[in-house]
A and B are shown apart, each in its own frame.
Chain A
Amino acid sequence: MSHQQTISSEKITSDLLPQKFGKPGMIWTAFLVVLCLIGLFAYYRQLRYGLSVTGMRDYASWGIYISNFVFFVAISLVGSLITAIFRLTNVGWRTPLTRIAEIIAVSAILFASIIIIVDMGRPDRFWHLFLYSRLQSPIMWDVIVITTYLVLSVLFLYFPLLSDLPILIQNSKPGSRIQRLYKFVGSFWKGTAGQVALSGKAIQIISVMIIPIALAIHTVTSWLFATTYRPGWDSTNFGAYFVSGAFLVGAGGVLVAMYVFRRAYKLEAYITEKHFDNMGKIVVMLAFLYLYFNINEYLVPAFKMKKAEEHHLVSLLTGDFSVLFWSAIFFGMILPVIVLLIPKGRKPLPAFVMGILVVIGAWFKRFLIVTPTMLSPFLPMYDTPESYKTYWPTWEEWSITIASLAGALLIVTIFVRLFPIIPIHETIEENEQIKPEQV
């Protein structure tokens, strides 16, 4: 990276070392903790009174917990996109983004598993999944691939972190708790040639392995829906549709995180405008891809308007959910494409705003995948209480869902307090050798 060649290694180290929270950092963390506590209280109520505290009923038997789960699984795909795909294809400008992507992936997939337990009517019987597990159920496939992905993602975060640990140990107060943590995590790392070779090989293997696993987590998650007969879910397009949507929301999430870290930690020299420019282009490509699958998913069935599909499609295209549906398409895909196609739109601030739109649009898109289908059963909703015919989440559901999002952000926040969000060692190394490929 040409522009960095003027920076000394000491400067890089001091720039990138994790910093104590400033006042905004403390406020932010406290805010997240409060959201989590409210969510915990709501979950206490749910444990006490059962799922009746939610807005879910027999028809809409899945609600925002499930759509939030799908959202988490989707956004976690970003880890493999940036880290593995860019690594394997030798994308030179990836270095400052890899750890951002990977920590988002780890915290998202962790909260995906938590939120799915929250959705269970009997969380006390969670162990039944292992005691009585039946491999023919798509839920078991999901349990297997999500666990695998979580383990691989943690390793994928951990191995590249090892070479930073001697720097962290050296630069922390001797005997302090944080130094003990660093020593516990990686005092064995001496950076010997053997260790470097071994770690390099491990990272290479994980880069290859994690791509099919990442595709699998989201494909299998789509199969939770596509293996049923329901209008709107009964689709062979679903796996690809979900994966493309996941790539989009993940890339949008990275745009947002890049901007926030750049501002909060003054990383302008490392996360440059070029990075926003490149990520912006990637978001455009992925938004087009997702739009393509949306056309396949909705317009092709709408052309035929089969009777069983009609209620569902009409509710999305012109009915109860149409405002949300078209907003998610427009603000979550079309507008980001338009803005990010303009070179000025790929400057940090507009790119950041488009990233937020993509992420919010993606969250509501998951809601639109779950709820309208549940409210379009084959047999009419008849002679059933009004509350059964509609679905709107209760404050408990919102609190728990928001708490899960806050929890994921809290993990990221604590992580950057403890560890450098941009790999120090790798940056110094790249800085020292003049790379043939330019950003």
Chain B
Amino acid sequence: MNADSVKSGGEALPRRNFLKGILLAGAAAGCSTKDPFTSAAKEGGAQPSGEMVQLLSTTGEIIEVDKAFLKPTEQIPSITGMAQRMGIEGKKFVMVIDLSRCKNLKKCQESCNHAHFVSDAQNWIKIYPMQEDEHTAPYWQPTTCMHCDEPPCVKVCPVDATFKRIDGIVGIDADRCIGCRFCMAACPYSTRVFNWDTPQLPPEVLALQYSSETSCPPKIGTVSKCDFCPDMVRKGELPHCVSACPNGVFFFGDMNEDVVTNGSETVRFSELIRDKAGYRLMEDLGTKPSVYYLPPVDRLFPFKNELQSEEG
């Protein structure tokens, strides 16, 4: 299963798969040969099609290869379902959300919805206008899944379809979920969404085997939610929301390394939380979230709410 290309989504997908296959094949054949494809293909008895494709070789030269000699590699070494349930050893993922930088641009939400094929009416990342009281200051609060260390959703799941990984991520196995929605009732952060309808998906995504690291493809009658994008982490990249935010609201990192980054700034997690008085949501419930918030002080933007009346 090709996890990362799923999230690039849409039409670009087959092409990217194809190119990846080529580069891998090139790497496997070694660096010295100018054109490993033609010789290997001729040994296999392939007939040239006459259509040439230009490729960049591993030594940096541009080579022309007949298209028929190229074998697309569909599979990048994939991670088994069991390994996905286990998580990445030695890691403890955390997120820090700096409320002083959020102006409700919703770029995080858009990129997340796009990457995970979230249905139109639903969002994994929800951005709330918060105001504790009429005399206190309003602010925007984006919420992801809190990836609690004492996850109420995992406690109540009757079939282990939602689970806690060793790296702290709370995942969902949509192939196992029975759709009882007890986890949705149990989650105090309203983070979970249910696939009430058949998800609208491009055929190539639909054909993929489900991965709990990409949460794709979403399946009807099952629960979905923010997965902290462990597939991006495996590639050494940041979750979609983190890289999509132009204001650097989201910091993502590893508590064991004590580092979090929003892409442009990389800081010590413990110092950030200490210096800016980071906190977690609904601490009194004892859920122990992995998402920390920095209070909305010295704000970059004034609070403006176009949907004022909707607060409920």
Write the residues of chain A forming the contact surface with B, with a CB cutoff of 8 angstroms: 49-52, 54, 56-59, 61-62, 119-122, 125-126, 128-129, 131-134, 136-140, 143, 224-225, 227-230, 311, 374, 377-385, 387-389
Contacts and interface: CB of A to CB of B under 8 A. Distances in A.
Interface of B: 121-123, 126-130, 143, 152, 155-161, 176-182, 184-186, 188-190, 192-198, 220-223, 282, 285, 307, 310-312
A377 B126 CA distance: 14
Contact of A134 (B121, B122, B157, B189): B157
A228 B181 CA distance: 12
B310 A383 contact: yes
B194 A379 contact: no
B126 A224 contact: no
Contacts of B157: 134, 137
Contacts of B143: 379
Contacts of B307: 382-383
What 9 A-B pairs come out closest when comparing CB atoms?
A: A121-B179, A121-B221, A139-B158, A52-B196, A137-B158, A132-B159, A122-B221, A52-B197, A61-B184
Nearest to A137: B158
B287 to A, nearest CB: 8
Nearest to A119: B180
A230 B185 contact: yes
- B contact face: mostly helix, strand, loop, or mixed: loop
Contacts of A229: 152, 186, 188, 285
Given A58-B184, A383-B310, A122 B128 contact: no
A125 B71 CA distance: 39
Among A56, A229, A381, the one with the most B-chain Cβ atoms within 10 Å of its Cβ is A229
B159 A129 contact: yes
A50 B221 contact: yes
Contact of B156 (A58, A125, A139, A381): A139
Contacts of A119: 180-181
Contacts of A51: 179, 194, 196, 221
B121 A49 contact: no
Given A128-B159, A379-B126, A137 B182 contact: yes
B179 A120 contact: yes
Nearest to B310: A382
Nearest to A378: B188
Given A121-B181, A381-B312, 16 more contacts: A57-B196, A58-B194, A61-B184, A120-B178, A120-B179, A122-B221, A132-B161, A137-B158, A138-B182, A143-B158, A227-B186, A374-B185, A379-B190, A380-B311, A383-B307, A385-B121
B54 to A, nearest CB: 47
Nearest to A233: B185
A292 B128 CA distance: 39
Contacts of B193: 58
20 contacts: A50-B195, A54-B196, A58-B184, A61-B194, A62-B181, A62-B185, A121-B195, A121-B220, A122-B177, A122-B178, A133-B158, A134-B160, A139-B182, A228-B156, A230-B185, A377-B188, A381-B312, A383-B126, A383-B307, A388-B121
A128 B176 contact: yes
A143 B197 CA distance: 27
A58 B128 contact: no
A58 B182 contact: no
A369 B194 CA distance: 22
Given A49-B197, A382-B128, A125 B158 contact: no
Nearest to B133: A307
B220 A379 contact: no
Contacts of A59: 190
A384 B181 CA distance: 19
A378 B190 CA distance: 8
Given A58-B122, A133-B159, A382-B128, A228 B152 contact: yes
Nearest to B106: A383
Contacts of A136: 155
Contacts of A385: 121
A119 B180 CA distance: 7
B297 to A, nearest CB: 21
A410 to B, nearest CB: 27
Contact of A61 (B123, B185, B221): B185
Contact of B155 (A56, A137, A224): A137
Among A58, A134, A374, A381, the one with the most B-chain Cβ atoms within 10 Å of its Cβ is A58
Among A131, A228, A230, the one with the most B-chain Cβ atoms within 10 Å of its Cβ is A228
Contacts of B192: 58
B160 A132 contact: yes
Contacts of B312: 311, 380-382, 389
B265 to A, nearest CB: 28
A121 B190 contact: no
Contact of B189 (A61, A139, A379): A379
A62 B161 CA distance: 19
Given A52-B196, A139-B158, A228 B186 contact: yes
Given A380-B312, A381-B312, A383-B307, A228 B185 contact: yes
A383 B155 contact: no
Contacts of B161: 128, 132
Contacts of A224: 182
Contact of A56 (B182, B196, B197, B221): B196
Among A131, A143, A384, A385, the one with the most B-chain Cβ atoms within 10 Å of its Cβ is A384
A2 B310 CA distance: 69
Contacts of B184: 58, 61
A374 B186 CA distance: 10
A217 to B, nearest CB: 16
A133 B159 CA distance: 5
Contacts of B158: 129, 133-134, 137, 139-140, 143
